[in-house]
Amino acid sequence: MPGPYPGQVVRVHSEGSIDSASDQVNRQLVKQMLAAGIKALTGDARTEDAWARFISPGDVVGIKVNCSGAPKIRSSPEVVAGIAENLVAVGVPAKQIYVYERFDNQLQSVGYPKYLPEGVNVQAAEASRRSILGYDPRTYVETSFFGEEDTRSNLVRLVSETLTKIVNVPNTKEHQAAGITGCLKNIAYGNFSNVDRSHRFEKTNTLSFIGELAATEPVRSRVVLNIMDGLRGVWHAGPFSEHARFRFYPKQLMFGTDPVAMDHKLIDLIEEKRKAEGAVTLWDRSPKHLGKDNTDPNINHYIREPGHVEYASKLGLGIYDAAKINLKVIEL
Amino acid sequence: MLLLLAALPGLFWEGGVNTAPALREAGIKQIQVPAARLAEWKAVSGISAEAGNLQGAVKLLIPTVNYRMDQASASRTPWLVSNGWKFLRNPKGRFYYEVTGKPSAIAAAEALCFGAAALIKVDATTDAAGLQPLAEILEFSSGVHQDPLPPMADFGFVDDGSPAAGEVMNMLVRTNLLFEIVARPDPRFKLTVKLGTKEYPLTEAKNPGVVAQAVRGNLTDEKRSVRIYGSPVVVARLTGSAGRVRLHLVNYSGATRNVDGIRVRVLGQYPKHQLAAAGSAGLELADYSVEPDATEFTLTQLKTYAVIDLSR
C-alpha cells in the first residue's frame, strides 16, 4: 500500500444491484460492476488482464471479508464470490484462495461456501473467541493503552505464513469509535488480535492504532487491492447493524489500491448520509453527544476518530488530500 | 518425604467407611479424616488415611473468575478470586477450602501453584463424579511435585499485615507481578514496595489496582520474569534459580472453560523444556523460541493447571 494507483478511486454504481425492499442482490449486475471497476482502475480492456496486474497463478490469495455486522451487513457473498471467480479465471487454483475473517461465529453466519467456487477455503482466526492459536506469536504490535496486561496484538497466522496476496473487501459503515470502518480498519483490526482494547473508553486510541497496524509488514505489502462493498451501508451505530433505520443502500462498489483515498471517500459518503438524516457530523467531539443510548443518531458511545484516515496517510499508506484524489464514477 | 507431603493439598473427608466405594471409583487414594474416624479408615484397603483437623485453619475463598459483564466498571478485566496472597503472607499457615466438583480441582491447583498444604473439604455426600476432578488433579500433582524449588520474585514487598497491604498483594498476584515479602529493602531486589511511602502512598492503596500499575511501571515489563499474553484468567508462579526454573500456571476459569492458548514469556534463555498439563496428556509447547533475553512459547490449552520445567 498504497500500491500502483495512489490517489485513484473508482466508484461503480448500479441502481439494480440490490433491491432495497427485499435486500436481494442481483448477482449478474454485481459481476458486471466488478468487471467495470477493475478495468477502470487499471485501464485494461479485458477483465483478466486487469486482475493479472495484481494476482499471479502461483499466489495464495486471501479475501479479507468483514462480518462484524453480520448477518445484516457483511461483505456480500455475491461480491466475494465474484472476486473468487475472477481469481480462478486468472489461474489461481480454488484451493489457493482463502476467504477469511477473525471470528468464526460471524464468518459462519454468512454462509459463504454455497456462493463460492468449489474448493475455496473459508477460515477464521479464532475458532473460539479469544483463542490466540490462529495468530502468529512472532509478528505483533506491542503497545499499552491503559495499563492492560496483554500488550500485544498479533497478526493472523494465515496472513504471515500462508498468503502471498490479499484482496481487502470492507463494508461501507460508520464506526462508533473509529468514525468509519473501511479499508484501513478492515486491514488493521481485521488482521490483528486484541484490538478492542483500543476503544474501551470514550476517548479511544483508534486515531493512531489503525494506521500503525495497517502499516505493519507483512500485511502492508500483501494487501494489493481493495474492493469496498457498498451495496448496503450503515450510517450510525456501526460496525454492527442492530437497527434497521440506520441501514441504507448506496448500491455501489469502490475500487483502488490506495486505502486512504478510498476511506476519505467513505467519510464523505457517510457524512453526506448523516447530514441528510439530520445527525451530527462524524467529526463531532462534544461530550453532550456521548451516551449509552445510540438508538438516537446524535448519541454515540465514543468520541469518533475519522482522523485515523489522515493519520494513515502520514504513515505513507495513501493520499488523503482531496484535491489529489482522482475519482472515476461509473454508472451501470 | 514429610516436607514433600506438607507441600501438597489433600482431601479432607468426614464421611464414614461406607463412602469408600465412591472415593475409590473417583480415584482418590489419600484422605485426611477427623481423628475420631481414623481407626475405621485405617482398616480400609486402597485408601491411605491420616488424621486431619480444620480447627484453627483459615477458610479460603473458592478460586474462580467473576466476569461481571452486567456491571459497569472502568475495566473489562475479569475479577479473579485468588487466595495466592494469603499463602504468601502466611507460608506456614493452615488453610482449607470447602468446595466440591470441578471448582475443587481449581482449589487444588491454586494450592499446588503456591506450594500450600491446604486441605480441601468436600461434602461427604458427594458422589464419585463430584470427587473425580479433585482426584485427577491430585493424581497429576503426585507425578510432578518432586523436589520443590524456591520461589522466584522480581521485587520485594514490605507486608505490614494490614488489610490494605493484603489487597495490594492480592492485585499483584492476580496480575502476575512476582514479589517476595521482605522485612526491609533487600539488596537482592532493585525495587522494594512499601505502602505509606512517598512512592506508594496509603491514599492510593485504596485502589490496589493503581498501586499494582505503579509497581509495574517502576519494575518495567521488560524486567518481569513472567509475562502471560492471551488470557486475563491465568495466574503464574515461578520457582527455581537462574539455571533451572519451574513455571506453574493456573486457569482460574477452569471449572467452566478451558483457556485456548496463552503465549508465555520467561526472562532468560532456556533451550530445554518439559510440560506437564493436567488433563492434557501428550500436549507439547508450540512455537518455542529462545531469544537473547527471554524464552517464549505457546501453551495451546490450559484446562486447570500446568507445570513447565525450563532449563539450560
Chain B: residue whose CA lies nearest to A196: B76
A87 and A182 Cβ atoms separated by less than 8 Å: no
Q: How many helices (H) and strands (E) does chain B have?
A: 9, 19
What per-residue confidence (pLDDT) applies to B76? 60
How high is the pLDDT of residue B148?
77
Query: Would the CA dihedral through B212, B213, B219, B224 be positive or negative?
Result: positive
Strand ranges (E), chain A: 8-13, 18-19, 24-25, 61-64, 97-103, 121-126, 135-142, 152-156, 165-168, 171-175, 179-181, 223-234, 247-248, 252-256, 326-331
Chain pair A-B, CB pairs under 8 angstroms: 47
CB A128, CB A102: distance < 8 Å: no
Shortest CA distance to B9 belongs to which of B144, B130, B146, B108? Answer: B108
What rounded mean pLDDT belongs to chain A?
A: 97
Residues in B closer than 8 angstroms to A152, CB to CB, are 229, 263
- In chain B, what residues touch A148 (CB-CB under 8 Å)? 77
pLDDT by 10s per residue, chain B, length 312: 334 444 689 999 999 999 999 999 999 999 999 999 999 999 999 999 999 999 999 999 999 998 765 554 445 678 899 999 999 999 999 999 999 999 999 999 999 999 998 999 999 999 999 999 999 999 999 888 676 789 999 999 999 999 999 999 999 999 999 999 999 999 999 999 999 999 999 998 889 999 999 999 999 999 999 999 999 999 999 999 879 999 999 999 999 999 999 999 999 999 999 999 999 999 999 999 999 999 999 999 999 999 999 999
User: A128 vs B76: CB contact, 8 Å cut-off?
Assistant: no
Check residue B46 and report its DSSP letter: T
Q: Which of A5, A70, A75, A6 is nearest to A34 (CA)?
A: A75
Interface of B with A in 46-105 (CB under 8 A): 74-77
Radius of gyration of chain A (CA): 18
Nearest to A149 among B175, B289, B300 (CB): B175
Distance of residue A137 Cα from the nearest chain B Cα, in angstroms: 7
Of A133, A147, A150, the CB nearest to B261: A133
What is the reported pTM?
0.93
> Nearest to residue B311, comparing CAs of B284, B271, B276, B265?
B271
Cis ω on the peptide bond leading into residue A218 (within 30° of 0)?
yes
Residues from chain B contacting residue A138 (CB–CB below 8 Å): 287, 289
Least CB–CB distance from B262: residue in A128, A132, A200: A132
For A175-230, what is the HEC assignment? ECCCEEECHHHHHHCCCECCCHHHHCCCCCCHHHHHHHHHCCCCHHHHEEEEEEEE
Going from the N-terminus, what domains does chain B have, and what CATH number goes with each? 2-144 (no CATH), 155-222 (no CATH), 226-311 (2.60.40.1180)
Q: Do B260 and A131 touch (CB under 8 A)?
A: yes
- Helices A27-42 and A77-89: crossing angle in degrees, nearest 10, is 60
**Can you tell me the distance from the alpha carbon of A142 to that of B69, in angstroms, rounded to the nearest whole number?**
27
**Interchain CB contact of A137 with B (< 8 Å):** yes
- State residue B3's pLDDT score: 40
**Which pLDDT score is estimated for B147?**
66
Interface check for B262 against chain A (CB to CB < 8 A): the answer is yes
Nearest-CA distance A131 → chain B (Å): 5
Q: What pLDDT sits at residue B267?
A: 97
Q: Rounded to a whole number, what is the distance in Å from the CA of A133 to chain B's nearest CA?
A: 6
Query: ∠B167-B169-B171 over CA atoms, to 5°?
Result: 70
- Positions in chain A short of pLDDT 70: none
Q: Which three-class secondary structure state does DSSP give residue B262?
A: strand
Picking from B164, B181, B109, B170, the residue whose alpha carbon sits closest to that of residue B138 is B109
Residue B1: predicted pLDDT = 37
Is the preceding omega at residue A239 within 30 degrees of 0, hence cis? yes
Where does chain B have alpha helices with state H?
2-6, 20-26, 38-42, 84-89, 102-113, 128-144, 163-174, 202-205, 208-219
Question: How confident is the model at residue A129, as a pLDDT?
Answer: 84
Most A-contacting residue of B263, B288, B298, B299 (CB-CB within 10 A), to test interface: B263
Neighbours of A299 (CB within 10 A): 17
Cα→Cα distances B163→B87, B170, B244, B300, Å: 15, 10, 35, 37
Compute CA B301 distance to the chain's CA centroid, rounded to the nearest angstrom: 17
B27 and A CB contact within 8 Å? no
Tally of CB atoms within 10 A around B110: 29
Contact A219/A303 with Cβ under 8 angstroms? no
Domain definitions of chain A by residue range = 8-331
* Cα(B81)–Cα(B254) distance, integer angstroms: 13
Q: Do A137 and B287 touch (CB under 8 A)?
A: yes
